[in-house]
Every structure is written in C-alpha cells, then in structure tokens.
Amino acid sequence: MGIELPAGVTAEALSEFLLALADDELVLGHRDSEWTAYAPILEEDIAFSNIAQDELGHSLVWFSLCEKLTGKNPDEMAFQRPWEDFRCCRFVAYPKGDFAYTVVRQFLFDVAEQVRLIAISSSSFGPLREISQRIIREENYHVMHSQGLIERLGDATEESRRRMQSAVDVAFPQSLGIFEHLKAEEELVDAGFFPGNDALKSAWLAQVVPVLRKATLTVPVHDHKNTFAADGQSDDGGRQGKHTVHLQALVADLQSVYKLVPNAKW
Amino acid sequence: MPLEQRQVHNVAEAKAWDVLQSVQDPEIPALTLVDLNVIRHVKANDQGVEVEMTPTFMGCPALDRMKEDIRIRLQEAGFKNVRVNVNLTVPWSTDMLIESSKEKLQKFGIAPPPVLQESLPATLLLPVQCPFCNSTETRLESEFGSTLCKQLYYCDSCRQSFERFKPL
Ligand SMILES: [Zn+2]
C-alpha cells in the first residue's frame, strides 16, 4: 500500500491522470467487446475480441495503480462507481456504430494511446515507466491492425470509401476530446510529469493525418507549423464527468451482472 | 529467470522452485510457468512461502487460474501459508522465455516467438517456420489469435493454419 509520488505531483493530480487512462481503456474495451460474434469477418471478430481483452487488461493495470492512491480496488471502480464519476473522454463511449466507425475510432484512439504512453514511458515516476513500456508493446499491435484496416478500406471500393469518409466526419471531431485538459493539467506539466495534452495532440495529429490522407480520406484540419491544427470544436466534457447518455447506458450494461448479486464469488 | 540468476536461500526455496517447474501454463500446457519466466521471486521458510509473479500479457485472463494452480500445487507439496503476489512493474517480454521453451513450443505445434527486432514490423517480417512441415512458405493471417499470446499463420506448403506465440 502507498507509493512514492513523483516530485511536485499530488496524489490527487496523479489519480486524476490515471483515472482518465483507466476509464478510456475500460470503456473502449467494452465497446470493442460488442463485436465479439458480430464482426463482419472471423479474423476481425478475433482481432476485436483480443483488442477488447487487452484494453480491459490495461484498465485493470491503471486501476491497480490508482488503488494505491485512493484505496478503491479495481472491481469497485469498474462495477460500483456511478457513471457520473467516470473520467473517460466522451469519444470512447459512443455506440459502436458500423464497422467503419469502429475502425476509425480504434485507429484514432490507438495512436493517441501510443503517443500518451510514449510520453510517460520516460517519466521520472518508476511504476508508470515500467507499466507503460510493457503496455506500449501490446498497443503497437493495435495500431498496426487499425492502421492496416484504414489503409485497405479507405479506397478499396466506392462503398468502403463512402463509409470510411462518413466515419471520419463523425469520429474525428469527437476524438479531439481525448486531449481535453485535466484539472491538474498545469500541475502535471510544470512537474515535468507529462508534456501536456496540447503537445500530445500535436504529436497525434502529425501521425494520424498523413495516414488518413494517404487512404484518400479528407480530414478536417489545416496545416500549421510542422504539424496540423484541427478545425472545429473539440467534443469535451468527459474529463470533468460531463458525459453523454451513451456512457450512462454503457455503464448500466457493464454493471448489470455485478448488481444482480453484489459480491458474488465466481 | 535463468537458473544461475535465481536466488535460492534454503532447502524450502529449492523445493518450491521444483514444484513451480511443473505448474503448466493453462493456455499452453507445453510450457510451465517457469519456462515462461513469469515467476520472478520465491521466498520460503518453515512458516510459509511467498511467490511473486507477473503476467505475460497485461490482460491475460488466465492469471487468476495460474495463481490458484500455484497455491494448490505448493499446498499439495506440504507448504503452508502460500501467498501469490502479482507484480506488474517488472519487465517481461518473449525474449525472456527460457531457451528450451522454443523447442517445446515447436514440438507442441505452436511456432515459437523470434528474437525481437528494432520494431514490431521488422520482427514480423522474419521468416516463420511451420511447426508441422518446417517450411518457411508461411504468411501472417492475423496479428491476433485464439488467445492473447498467439497469432494466426497459414502455411502455403502443407496448407494448414497454425499459431505462433506472439512476439512481445
Ligand atoms: Zn506447413
């Protein structure tokens, strides 16, 4: 019990940061699992079931680290917490949509995750460094997979292009909410704990935009210095607990079995 | 960890390692938890035994089963107060599998993981030998497989699908 905090960072700031990580993984993992037995082809069924399992595993890791700060165990966090207390971005909670939306969301999220993990893998905070270095290697498979699907489906047929473009139109503005500032943003940046969400967003844009464009998809951004700047409003609110009804429904579903028989032993 | 690096302080610890050497991985029974190098530390004395382990993949669903198997086997061997702790902050990669594991996997019908290269694409570009006919006329069908630690290949020579331990 108890961990040594990184210099200049309060337990409250660190747990806010970890909770955002954990909830993003838990909620997207749940959405991914909704493709089990329903994906368009068997290989994708297997892939998304694997990815779901990975994401849930990662959320468990972040919740376990959080437990050392808050005393709440991962089961309490996942199964007993009211949906208003989740701190995932809104993006991950939207319904799974069609397969094009799922692929585009997964790609945008996977790269964001990778960028975030790389930023903290050199953190002065030991536990975070070790864990993120391990998780990055698992996430590399996710990026490889979702990017491969973007490249193949972007201009495969007229139908696939139309669907992928609609997915980008919807998902891209939503995805900007991944980088919504935390309450403790300034504190964490000042302490050198992480470079901040604006820096992460730039690194992310520099990576995702060329891939989408190469796949002939139009992205709502304009060139800005050495990277891009996103046009339009970011879909913020999630990091402050201002969620959409979609998260409410997802959490109800996620917690339904647990609530039938609380504390059941399996 | 390699035998020579393993710290064994007393007879009880040596005996505990012997027991653990025979606890199989629930998903790949050809390998033991010691082969996988997931047992990181064993502390034992007359009072009890404490085992520290780490998962292979962070989301490994077999982790609880492994902990349970360890507990049962050590109890059967006469150990009291068996405690199994999971440590997520120690490194693990497929490069850390015990060397003999690769041969065991191949014999079991699962292609072993290659030595990791500088990037994941580079690792996946290495030729992969079919565990059934030894041909390298094989291709990656999916980065993923039937469990988190495997991925799907197809052999163009013997026309069979096979799995490989996912390099991580
Ligand atoms: Zn073959």
Q: What is the residue-level pLDDT of chain B in tens, covering all 168 positions? A: 555 567 888 999 999 999 999 999 999 999 999 999 999 999 999 899 999 999 999 988 899 999 999 999 999 999 999 999 999 888 899 999 999 999 999 999 999 999 999 999 999 999 999 999 999 999 999 999 989 999 999 999 999 999 999 999
Q: Quick one: average pLDDT of A115-136?
A: 88
Provide ipTM, 2 decimals: 0.90
Of A53, A56, A145, which has the smallest distance from its Cβ to B143's Cβ?
Answer: A145
User: Mean of the per-residue pLDDT values for chain A?
Assistant: 94
Cα dist from A24 to A48, A75, A119, A178, whole Å: 16, 16, 17, 9
CATH 3.50.50.60 applies to domain B3-86: no
Minimal-distance CA residue of chain A relative to B150 = A50
- Express each pLDDT in A33-71 by its tens digit: 999 999 999 999 999 999 999 999 999 999 999 999 999
Q: Is there a contact between A130 and B141 if contact means CB atoms under 8 Å apart?
A: no
> Rounded to an integer, what distance in angstroms lies between the CA atom of residue A251 and that of residue A264?
19
Cα dist from A182 to A6, A28, A197, whole Å: 17, 19, 8
Q: How far is the CA of B82 from the centre of ligand 1 (A)?
A: 44
Q: Quick one: average pLDDT of A222-237?
A: 90
Of A58, A130, A144, which has the smallest distance from its Cβ to B59's Cβ?
Answer: A58
Q: Within its chain, how far is the Cα of A176 from the centroid?
A: 11
- Exposed, middle or buried: residue A38 (CB in 10 Å: 0-12, 13-18, 19+)? exposed
Candidates B92, B143, B146, B164: best to mutate against A (most CBs of A within 10 A) is B143
Q: Is there a contact between A145 and B141 if contact means CB atoms under 8 Å apart?
A: no
- pLDDT at site B57: 92
Q: How far is the CA of B130 from the centre of ligand 1 (A)?
A: 5
The CATH superfamily label for domain A11-260 reads Ferritin, core subunit, four-helix bundle (1.20.1260.10)
Question: Which chain B residues have a beta carbon less than 8 Å from that of A141?
Answer: 120, 143-144, 166
Q: Is there a contact between B168 and A137 if contact means CB atoms under 8 Å apart?
A: yes
DSSP assignment of chain A equals ---PPPTT--HHHHHHHHHHHHHHHHHHHHHHHTTTTTSSSHHHHHHHHHHHHHHHHHHHHHHHHHHHHH---HHIIIIIS-GGG----GGGGS---SHHHHHHHHHHHHHHHHHHHHHHTT-S-HHHHHHHHHHHHHHHHHHHHHHHHHHHHTTSSHHHHHHHHHHHHHHHHHHGGGGPPPTTHHHHHHTTSS--HHHHHHHHHHHHHHHHHHTT---SEEEETTEEEE-S-----GGGT---HHHHHHHHHHHHHHHHSTT---
In chain A, the percentage of residues whose pLDDT exceeds 90 is 85
Q: Is there a contact between B58 and A64 if contact means CB atoms under 8 Å apart?
A: no
Q: Quick one: average pLDDT of A218-238?
A: 92
Q: How far is the CA of B98 from the centre of ligand 1 (A)?
A: 25
- Amino acid identity for residue A75 in this structure: D
- pLDDT at site A264: 79
Is the Cβ–Cβ distance between A166 and A154 less than 8 Å?
no
Q: Quick one: average pLDDT of A143-166?
A: 96
Q: Give the residue carrying structure tokens 């790949």.
A: B28
Q: Is there a contact between A56 and B59 if contact means CB atoms under 8 Å apart?
A: yes
Every domain of chain A and the residues it spans: 11-260
Candidates B38, B56, B58, B63: best to mutate against A (most CBs of A within 10 A) is B58
CA distance A112 to chain B (A): 18
Strands B82-86 and B49-53: parallel
> Rounded to an integer, what distance in angstroms lies between the CA atom of residue A35 and that of residue A44?
9
Query: H/E/C letters for each residue in chain B?
Result: CCHHHCCCCCHHHHHHHHHHCCCECCCCCCCECCCCCCEEEEEECCCCEEEEECCCCCCCCCHHHHHHHHHHHHHHCCCCCEEEEECCCCCCCHHHCCCHHHHHHHHHCEECCCCCCCCHHHHHHCCCCCCCCCCCCEEEEECCCCCCCEEEEEECCCCEEEEEECCC
Q: Is there a contact between B88 and A131 if contact means CB atoms under 8 Å apart?
A: yes
Residue A103 clears pLDDT 80, i.e. is over it: yes
Q: Name the residue among A60, A6, A79, A74 with its Cα closest to residue A250.
A: A79
Rounded to the nearest 5°, which phi and psi values hold at A90? -60, -35
Every domain of chain B and the residues it spans: 3-86, 109-165
Q: Is there a contact between B58 and A46 if contact means CB atoms under 8 Å apart?
A: no
Is the Cβ–Cβ distance between B157 and B128 less than 8 Å?
no
Confidence bin at A2 (pLDDT 50/70/90): low
Q: Is there a contact between A141 and B144 if contact means CB atoms under 8 Å apart?
A: yes
Q: Which residue has the higher pLDDT, B122 or A7?
A: B122
- pLDDT at site A20: 97
Q: How far is the CA of A34 from the centre of ligand 1 (A)?
A: 34
- pLDDT at site A1: 43
Q: Is there a contact between B58 and A133 if contact means CB atoms under 8 Å apart?
A: no
- pLDDT at site B3: 52
Q: Quick one: average pLDDT of A26-34?
A: 97
- Exposed, middle or buried: residue B91 (CB in 10 Å: 0-12, 13-18, 19+)? exposed
Confidence bin at A227 (pLDDT 50/70/90): confident
Candidates A4, A49, A53: best to mutate against B (most CBs of B within 10 A) is A53
Residue A3 clears pLDDT 80, i.e. is over it: no
Residues of chain A that touch chain B, judged by Cβ-Cβ distance less than 8 Å: 43, 46-47, 50-51, 53-58, 60-61, 64, 126-127, 130-131, 133-135, 137-138, 140-141, 144-145
